[in-house]
Amino acid sequence: MLTERAGSRKAFLIPVDFIQALTWLPILGIPILFHTNQVLWLIVFFSLSTVAAGIMGTPWSAMMADLVPPEVRGSYFGLRNGIGNLVTLFFSFVAGGLLQIFTGNTRLAFTIIFVGSTVGRLISLYFLSLTPDPHPALSVTAPRESIPQITRGLFSTNIGRFITFIIFFNLTQNIAAPFFSVYLLRELKINYINYQIINAIPTIVTMLIVTWWGKHADKAGNIKVLYITALMIPFVPMLWTINSSTLWLCAAQVYSGFALAGFNLCAGLFIWDAAPQENRTRYITLFAALSALGSTLGALIGGNIGPHLPQISGSYFVTIFLLSGILRLIVVIVLFRHISEVRDVLPIKTTELLFAGLRPAALTHRWRKISHGKHKQNNSR
């Protein structure tokens, strides 16, 4: 609604992005500006930063959905996400290195990190200002579905059933997700070097594989990739229950990064494809809000039931991991079969997609046959 009142998505994004960029400076200045309640002020400013970043996501996604053609979205955002993960990983190590180098002067280290974050955000804002908005005129009076109207279609429309699936998928996933780090540090007493390695592996794998998933999604469709990866993800927490050695957990993280790269990419792309253009911003808003709600409820459920569960191998965390995996699998089996693809895509077998690759010549020939068949059907009608 704020985006519509601003007149265009870009007109809304630029000032909010500017505010978000500047929030790092008062966070940096907390030790100087506030001598009491410093943690409270940290929460206030960090919440402001999080809110600004959060409300930018919906209009930016809607704008990019109009800007990037549907047939190349997978390839484009696969490449974009891969570069983003590389940059994120690189600067996380830069920040850690600065804190290590300036161990005796952490204020200087954090000053460099936070000022650098602000400068990076402002550079990003400059490039955002150069990005065209394909449909800048958003009329407040134009007929649109309200959020309650969209919500009522959660069980009766294709996109509604997908949002419902994501709610429960995130809920079951986050029953366990917040507790992997606690399990590593408290139960396994793993050292920080191995801890960093284990946590970095999914990011590295995502960086390497997400472009591959994107190209496959362009040809085979988002739903095909989502179905494959959705069936893989429930086994991620189950793998953590088999063995607790560092090598095994690293292998499990490789598997996790491979599956999550395709799932996270195509979940966002499918919403863009399925949402009607005139209401795309509102559908993306509802999708983001309900996804976050599912994640929050899952974490709350896991945190409350965990201590009351029977222990496996001396730890109730292992029980949570197993329970989360089983519930995720049930959600996929029960809910995903009611969701269908919204684009014309190639009928590619799962084995061909995963193992044989997409052979351009063969697929082009098959695609022409399909298109020719549809053209003949339309002419006969």
Is the pTM for the entire model greater than 0.75? Answer: yes
Q: Which of 114-123, 127-136, 268-277, 367-376 has the lowest mean pLDDT?
A: 367-376
Q: 137 or 303, which is more confident?
A: 303
Mean pLDDT of 147-174: 89
| pLDDT value of residue 141 | 53
Q: 263 or 82, which is more confident?
A: 263
* pLDDT tops 90 at residue 135: no
Q: Which pair of structure tokens corresponds to residue 303? A: 């945190």
Tell me the pLDDT tens digit for each residue of 243-267.
999 999 999 999 999 999 999 999 9
Provide the CATH topology of domain 149-345: Growth Hormone; Chain: A; (1.20.1250)
For residues 303 and 128, what is the distance between their CA atoms, to the nearest angstrom? 39
For residues 374 and 381, what is the distance between their CA atoms, to the nearest angstrom? 11
Residues 6+ apart with CB under 8 A from 370: 344, 346, 347
Tell me the pLDDT tens digit for each residue of 224-242.
999 999 999 999 999 999 9
With cut-offs at 50, 70 and 90, classify the pLDDT of residue 371.
low
Tell me the pLDDT tens digit for each residue of 52-77.
988 888 888 888 888 888 888 888 98
Based on the number of CB atoms within 10 Å of its own CB, is 206 exposed (0-12), middle (13-18) or buried (19 or more)? buried
What percent of the chain is modeled with pLDDT above 90?
43
Tell me the pLDDT tens digit for each residue of 314-346.
889 999 999 999 999 999 999 999 999 988 887
For residues 36 and 68, what is the distance between their CA atoms, to the nearest angstrom? 49
| pLDDT value of residue 359 | 52
What percent of the chain is modeled with pLDDT above 70?
91
In the chain, what are the domain boundaries? 1-133, 149-345
* pLDDT tops 90 at residue 349: no
249, 198 contact by CB (below 8 A): yes
| pLDDT value of residue 152 | 80
Q: Which of 44-48, 80-84, 316-320, 322-326 has the lowest mean pLDDT?
A: 80-84
